[in-house]
Structure formats: C-alpha cells, structure tokens
C-alpha cells in the first residue's frame, strides 16, 4: 500500500496532526512512534502545560494560540474529554522586564484582557504567592493549563477511530525521498507515501543539524511538592499558574494544585543533552535548589517532596519554532522543535501541518519558522 502521508513522532505535534488528518475522508495515513505515547521519555509529559493567549516571546504568536484555543475546544467536543482548564495566570517580574513588558505589548497589540497588579494586590488576591518588592504582576484571566498525556491520548484514540493506522514501538530507521514520494524503513518493514512529517522532537537533532539548523536538546526537571499545612490557599482561584522572572533568561514556574500537589520547574537553563544520553535521575541538590525557589516565592508550598521527573526541550536558534519543508525534499516536512513553549500551540500546529500534508499550503505565514532563519 502507498499512503498519502506518514507521520513519524506522536508527541504533541504528531498526535495533533494525526487527529486532524483523521477528519479527511478517504485519506490513507500511517502514524509511527519509536515508543508508546503518551510516555515519559520525551517532552510531552508531566501532567500539566501552560496555555496563555499573550506571548512575551513575540506578538506574532498570539493569533496562532488563539486558533489553538479554538482547536482544543474542537478536540474536546470530538473526543468527549476535557483537555483545557482555564485557571488564570500571573506573570511576575520587573515592570520593564521581559515577562511583564512583552506580555503587555502583545496584549495591547491584540486586545487581550489583562490587569497589572502591585505586589500588595498580588498577595491579597493570591495569598500563597510572595512577590518581591519592585516587581509587578501581569494577570491574564484567560490563561490555563492543558494535560499533555490526556491530550495526546485523546488525539491518538480519535485518529485511530478515524482510520489512521497507528504503530507504536516502531522507530524510523531511515527515510528516502524519490520523485514525489518517500520510502520509510522501520525494523518491521518499508512503507511508501506521498508525504512524510518528521515530528520527533529531541530525536531529530541529527536530521536538523544535517540541513543546517542550529538545534539543541535541554534537560528540564519538574518537581512536585505537597504544601506544608493548610492547602486551601493553593486552589486555582487563589493560586493560579505563575511565571516568575528572577534574572536574565531565568524563570520559575508554578502550577495550580492538583491531587494535593504543586508542580514547579525552572523554565530553561537546563544542561545540554540528547534523547539517548539524558540523565534521568534527579539529584538531591536539584531538589534542594527547588526548595530555595519555593521558600523565596511560594513558602507555603515548601512541604513534602513527592517526586521529580525529567523532560526535554528541543531548542532552535532564537528560541522560536521550526516548521518547514526539507530544503532538498519538499515532500518531507520538519516540525516540532518549539524551544520549550510549544505544547499550547499543538492543536493549531497539527491543523496547519495536516493542511500542508494534504493541500500543500496553509493560510499561516510560516516564514518566521523557516529553516533559512535558523541556520
């Protein structure tokens, strides 16, 4: 059989693409993954991911994430599962710092509702948080969280029910493009298709480096703590998701309480690694360092350490996304390196990748995410 499209990698972007391809009648699609997603060895795990309409990275992301909100709701309706939870989010830092000033800039350009809160207002509204003097809070009421494992599972279940052939534990050993098609080889066989999407995140480093993309994988550690004492101040209404800018390129993230636990992490700043060599164990000094952050910003959360886990960011130069055709083989799409902030966009990126695979075009301007800008 010759497939219309093969999707290789079924994390955030690949599973969302499979979901949208399932809605195309008569399409023959094969979806492959080297593991059995959702799993804990890549980027798409950890129970929660942030979604926010504003973007301190660049205002151009706001229209795309607005489409993502719409697509997540469509996915919820199609799968019968709740994926998106609106909790509100507060981004805390210097008034002229990146988090506050750039979030405000993107909100003003795109008319996103927000409030600027003083330290006193933050403490009154969100009593678990301890903003430092000289900081302010940018509060976005429409921000929230997504469950990465739930989202991936829902997308894959829907795709399978819609006729997409899904194969787990089947890595792509190599692929070859010829004419207008492509041949994919795995340990189980060879498959022909008209188009191929490579969306394997940190397992794509060699492929991307070969086409000149400056790309790295980064080890990020997530921790879960049970609050010390009364958990009431930590409900989502009084302790929403929070991002704290505490230095140049340094950010601390905390999530609403879930099953009696608060998840925390440091956004970026992890050690360079690869998917095959990453250090999976979490050392005692890493837990102690997180306790220092909790004592500084959310002291009531500095209770019993429950567990820690490692995930991977796949970063390209400039901290943007990569979505482009292979420069030598236009029938091969390269996507999913999203520099640590891509999950929220997956529902919309999956939609546009499906459009590119089937129609060869999309309404979105992808030039900012092209290979030429990342070499």
Question: Looking at 20, 34, 45, 219, which residue is catalytic?
Answer: 45
pLDDT band at 110 (very low <50, low <70, confident <90, very high): very high
Give residue 247's pLDDT: 79
**Catalytic residue check, 311:** yes
- Which candidate, 208, 198, 196, places its Cα nearest to that of 357? 196
Q: Provide the percentage of residues in the chain whose pLDDT is more than 90.
A: 92
Is it the case that residue 229 has pLDDT exceeding 80?
no
Question: Looking at 20, 34, 49, 104, which residue is catalytic?
Answer: 49
Question: Which range is least confidently modeled, 37-41, 138-142, 230-234, 342-346?
Answer: 230-234
- Which candidate, 156, 209, 243, 248, places its Cα nearest to that of 337? 209
| Distance, CA of 219 to CA of 313 (rounded, Å) | 7
**Catalytic residue check, 259:** no
Average pLDDT over residues 22-26: 88
- Determine contact, residues 242/100, Cβ cutoff 8 Å: no
Quote the tokens at residue 36.
Answer: 């059995």
Question: Looking at 44, 48, 87, 273, which residue is catalytic?
Answer: 48
Give residue 357's pLDDT: 98
Give residue 230's pLDDT: 67
For residue range 177-205, list pLDDT tens digits in order.
998 899 999 999 999 999 999 999 999 99
pLDDT band at 234 (very low <50, low <70, confident <90, very high): confident
**Catalytic residue check, 267:** yes
**Alpha helices of 232-278 — where are they, by DSSP H?**
none
Pairing of strands 189-198, 2-8: parallel
**Catalytic residue check, 223:** no
pLDDT band at 1 (very low <50, low <70, confident <90, very high): confident
**Alpha helices of the chain — where are they, by DSSP H?**
12-22, 61-79, 103-110, 119-125, 148-161, 205-210, 284-297, 346-359
Question: Looking at 151, 155, 239, 311, which residue is catalytic?
Answer: 311
Measuring CA to CA, how many Å separate 168 from each of 32, 42, 111, 176, 193?
A: 6, 15, 43, 21, 18
Pairing of strands 29-32, 165-167: parallel
Question: Looking at 20, 67, 223, 263, which residue is catalytic?
Answer: 263
Is it the case that residue 249 has pLDDT exceeding 80?
no
pLDDT band at 236 (very low <50, low <70, confident <90, very high): confident
Give residue 231's pLDDT: 62
Residues 6+ apart with CB under 8 A from 65: 51, 52, 53, 55, 344, 345, 348
Give residue 232's pLDDT: 64
Give residue 6's pLDDT: 98
- Write down the number of H helices and E strands in the chain: 8, 20
Is it the case that residue 250 has pLDDT exceeding 80?
no
Average pLDDT over residues 267-282: 97
- Determine contact, residues 185/2, Cβ cutoff 8 Å: no
Is it the case that residue 209 has pLDDT exceeding 70?
yes
Question: Looking at 125, 195, 223, 344, which residue is catalytic?
Answer: 344
Pairing of strands 136-140, 144-146: unpaired
**Catalytic residue check, 49:** yes
For 281, other C-beta atoms within 10 Å of its C-beta total 7
Question: Looking at 20, 67, 125, 267, which residue is catalytic?
Answer: 267
**Catalytic residue check, 151:** no
CB-count burial class (<10 Å; 0-12, 13-18, 19+) for 14: buried
For residue range 62-103, list pLDDT tens digits in order.
999 999 999 999 999 999 999 999 999 999 999 999 999 999
**Catalytic residue check, 48:** yes
């Amino acid at each position: 059989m010759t497939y219309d499209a093969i999707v290789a990698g079924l994390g955030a972007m690949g599973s969302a693409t499979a979901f949208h391809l399932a809605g195309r009648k008569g399409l023959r699609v094969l979806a492959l993954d080297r593991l059995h997603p959702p799993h804990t060895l890549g980027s798409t795990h950890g129970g929660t991911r942030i979604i926010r309409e504003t973007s301190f990275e660049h205002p151009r992301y706001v229209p795309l994430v607005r489409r993502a909100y719409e697509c997540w709701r469509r996915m919820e309706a199609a799968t019968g599962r709740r994926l998106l939870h609106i909790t509100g989010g507060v981004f805390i830092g210097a008034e002229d710092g990146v988090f506050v000033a750039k979030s405000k800039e993107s909100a003003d350009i795109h008319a996103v509702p927000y409030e600027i809160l003083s330290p006193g207002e933050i403490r009154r509204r969100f009593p678990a948080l301890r903003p430092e003097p000289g900081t302010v809070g940018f509060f976005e009421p429409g921000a929230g969280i997504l469950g990465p494992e739930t989202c991936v599972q829902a997308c894959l279940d829907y795709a399978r029910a819609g006729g997409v052939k899904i194969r787990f534990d089947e890595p792509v050993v190599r692929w070859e493009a010829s004419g207008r098609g492509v041949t994919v080889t795995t340990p189980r066989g060879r498959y022909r298709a008209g188009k191929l999407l490579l969306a394997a995140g940190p397992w794509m480093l060699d492929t991307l480096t070969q086409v000149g993309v400056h790309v790295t994988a980064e080890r990020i550690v997530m921790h879960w703590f049970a609050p010390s004492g009364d958990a009431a101040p930590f409900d989502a209404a009084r302790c929403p998701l929070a991002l704290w800018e505490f230095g140049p390129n340094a950010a601390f993230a905390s999530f609403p309480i879930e099953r009696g636990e608060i998840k925390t992490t440091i956004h970026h700043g992890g050690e360079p690694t690869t998917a095959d060599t990453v250090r999976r164990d979490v050392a005692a000094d890493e837990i102690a360092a997180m306790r220092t952050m909790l004592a500084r910003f959310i002291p009531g959360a500095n209770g019993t350490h429950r567990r820690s886990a490692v995930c991977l960011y796949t970063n390209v130069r400039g901290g943007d996304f990569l979505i482009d055709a292979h420069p030598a083989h236009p029938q091969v799409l390269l996507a999913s390196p999203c520099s640590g902030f891509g999950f929220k966009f997956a529902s919309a990126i999956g939609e546009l990748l499906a459009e590119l695979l089937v129609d060869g075009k999309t309404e979105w301007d992808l030039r900012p995410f092209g290979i030429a800008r990342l070499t």
